[in-house]
Structures are given as C-alpha cells and as structure tokens.
Amino acid sequence: MKKIIIPHIHKIEGEAGFWAKVTKTGKIEDLKIETLLGLRQIEGILIGRRFFEAPLVVSRICGICPVPHSLAACSALEKALNIRVSENVVLLRKLLLASNIIHSHTLHLFFLSFPDLFNIESDLDLTKRFKKETKAALKVRETALEIAEIVGGRAVHPMTPVVGGFSKLPEKEKLKKLISKISFALERFEDLMKTLKKAEYPSLKRKTRFASLVSAKEYAFYSENKVRIEKEKMTIGDFYSVEIKEDLKHPPVKRVTFKGEPYMVGAIARIKNNQRFLSSLAKKEFEEFKEKQETRDDEFFENIYFNLISQAIEVVHFLEFSQELLKKIIKNPSKDKKIEARVKAGAGLAALEAPRGSLFHYYEVDKEGRISGCNIITPTAQFLANIEEDLKILLPKIMGLSQKNKVRKIRSLIRVYDPCISCATH
C-alpha cells in the first residue's frame, strides 16, 4: 500500500491537506481532503442574539466572500419576520453581491489558479511574464472593491446591509462615476481574457451533477426560490430540507450530498443552468472560447478545469450587469432605505449565489426577536465530495509521475474548484 500525503494545499482560501491510499496495482483504496481550520461554531454564537445582529456576525465567516453571508442572513430573517424590501434595496443588494463575485473570481483566477495553467511557481515570475494581465486583474479587483465600499460601507465586511434594507444609502454622484470605471475595467479584463481563451487546459472527463439557483427572468444569483440540478427543478425549501443531506460525522465540515450523490455548484454550474441569460459580451466570450478549444457544450461541462474560464465569463457578465443595475438605480433613486421589523416568532430560509456557488441560510426567531435556530450550508461543503470524485479519476493517470509533479497536479485540480475552507468550517 502506497500513501500520498500533502500536508498543505497552498493558494486556496483557508487551510487544507490531502491524503490517499493506493495499492501496488494503482487502485485507489481511499482518499480525502482534510480541512485544517478549527470549527468556529458561528451558528451557535448566534443563538440567543437579537435578529439584527446576524448580518454583521455572519459576514465574519470569510474575508473573501463576506457579502453573500450578510445578504443571505438579511433575506432569511426578512422572510421570518414577513418583511418585503423595496425594489431599490433589491437592486443595491444585487450590485453589492455582483461586486463580490467579480472581486473573488478575479483573485482566484489570476493570483491562485492562473500560475497552474502556465507552470509558474513564483508570483514574481507571474507578474513579470504577464504584465498586462497583472494590471488587468488588479484594476478589475480595485473596481469591484470600490463598488463594495460605496454600497456596503467598506470594501470588506459590509456594514450597511441590515434586516429590512440598508442603514445608509450610497451617494448618487459616487454611483454615477462607477459606470465609466466599470467600462474601463471591462476593457482591461479583455487582456486577461485573451490569454485565458488560448491557454491549454488539462482534460479530466467526468459527468457531474450541477446545481444552482434558476430564474425565468435573469441570470439567477440573488434570493431566488428555485434550484435546478440536472433536469430536476425544485423550490429551495425542497432542495434544502428534503433532497440534500448533511454529513455530521466528519467535523469540522458538514459535507453535503444530493440524494446521496456528490454534485457541483459555482460558476460552471451557473453557466450550465443559466447560460441563456448571460450578458451579450459574456455570451460572445463563451462561444469564442468553445470555438478556440474545439469543444462542444456537453464536452465543456464534462471538464471541471473549465470552471476557470467559467469564472472569467462571469466576471464579464457581472461587470456588464452592474452597469445595467447602476443605470436603473440612478434613473429611479429612492430614499426608502429600511423597513422596520415588527418582532414576532417565525422562520425563514434564503438562498443566493456566492462566488463559489449556492449558499443557504436558515433562521428561527422567537417572539422576542432572538435567534433560536440557525443553519448555514456553504458552497464548499457542497462540492468537497465532488472534488474527491474527480481526484479518483486523476490519481491513476498521474501515478507514473515524479512525487513533485503528482503533488502539483493534485493541488492544481483542488484549486480549480476555488474552495473556501473558512466558509466550509464556519
């Protein structure tokens, strides 16, 4: 029996390791991704606290994707308290969430996974070899963080989203200036997109179940009520309470499966289920990529390495979509920032699309407005089992490589998923 042990997977959010047991004949006996961060028990921390504390507390789950946690908590608690926010609040929340997806994708794409595509180990070599792409990535992230700061009150851990709306609305003049800044960011991102479209992607074919929120009106990502996984469509309530199961036997991560089987969430899953709603430029980039790579739709979604270009396509989509949102917000400004809650007992479930995939927040509130129950299901907890299934396909293919190259291939595949261990262990 041979063991492969990787004590640390670098260039991911949080800390994780990997081990596998392989027989002399090359058969995979067992393998596992081990999360190395301790359990923080955010859900337990919230028990007994007033409902309005939740958005701020849960945003501390992660420094890369605090926005979706904050907004999911707001939406779930609004359902529990029968609050219907204004259309202006919804538009601003969508803008804030879009900015977080842009920021997170760009960080992962260029600084974490891009080096794997071009066999670069040093960040200094990366920035020297790809100067235009480096400037493009920095400019897009800078723009996304500026949007987050204007709408959310600061770039990281937003302060303004509250149950019922916003504690403070952004200044109209600042919003106007963002439109031209987004146009410039889109132009710069094309430098990175060109390189990504002509890169050589590893091939790892495996049919995967893809789950994401869906909508009849737009590219679904904020507070939708329907989930699609393969050909099945259901309410978020049925998906959450009936079809998916959390494995509580292996802390600190509650691993999730759908009807006992692994599945994938995230950029590639969203494009699979929502591609008809991509922005015009994002659609063009998607078709050009498939043409350059000589790959059909079905082949595209069988290769998990294409999650990288899926994130890039989403960056283009959400930059364009952010401009549309800004024009609507500026055209019809509203001073309605918050609806005060009438405290009562209730329960609420909300789902939205975080950068890495579908995120679920569930809360129970007692008659005094204190949280009596809480459950959070993160994207990484949902796709950890799917990574391991892909690793079972990869390992037999690389057993003849040197130890260094085996480790590099394993780390590269794990990074493609863009796991967030802080969210998974929350």
Tokens 């987050």 label which residue?
148
> CA 222 from chain center: how many Å?
12
**Residue 306: Cβ-neighbour burial (10 angstroms; 0-12, 13-18, 19+):** buried
- The length of the chain, given as a count of residues: 426
Is the model more confident about 145 or about 223? 145
- Tell me which of 3-12, 102-111, 260-269 is least confident: 3-12
- Bridge-partner residues for 3, per DSSP? 21
Cα distance between residue 346 and residue 341, in whole Å: 12
**Which two structure tokens, joined as six digits, stand for 215?**
């909508």
Separate counts of helices (H) and strands (E) for the chain: 16, 13
> CA 181 from chain center: how many Å?
24
Q: What is the per-residue pLDDT across 20-61, written as a single tens digit (0 to 9) for each?
A: 998 877 789 899 999 887 778 899 999 999 999 999 999 999
Cα distance between residue 96 and residue 328, in whole Å: 14
DSSP annotation of 225 reads S
Confirm if 329 and 345 have CB atoms less than 8 A apart. no
Please, what is the Cα angle at 206 between 408 and 410, to 5 degrees?
Answer: 10
Q: What is the per-residue pLDDT across 291-338, written as a single tens digit (0 to 9) for each?
A: 999 999 999 999 999 999 999 999 999 999 999 999 999 998 877 788
Cα distance between residue 304 and residue 206, in whole Å: 8
Cα distance between residue 359 and residue 381, in whole Å: 10
* Residue 108 C-beta-side C-alpha neighbours within 13 Å: 31
Confirm if 61 and 43 have CB atoms less than 8 A apart. no
Q: What is the per-residue pLDDT across 139-156, written as a single tens digit (0 to 9) for each?
A: 999 999 999 999 999 999
Strand, helix or coil for residue 245: strand
What are residue 262's phi and psi, to 5 degrees?
-70, 155
* pTM for the structure as a whole: 0.96
CATH number of the domain that 138 lies in? 1.10.645.10
| Domain span including residue 239 | 2-425
pLDDT confidence band for 372 (50 / 70 / 90) = very high
For the chain, the domain total comes to 1
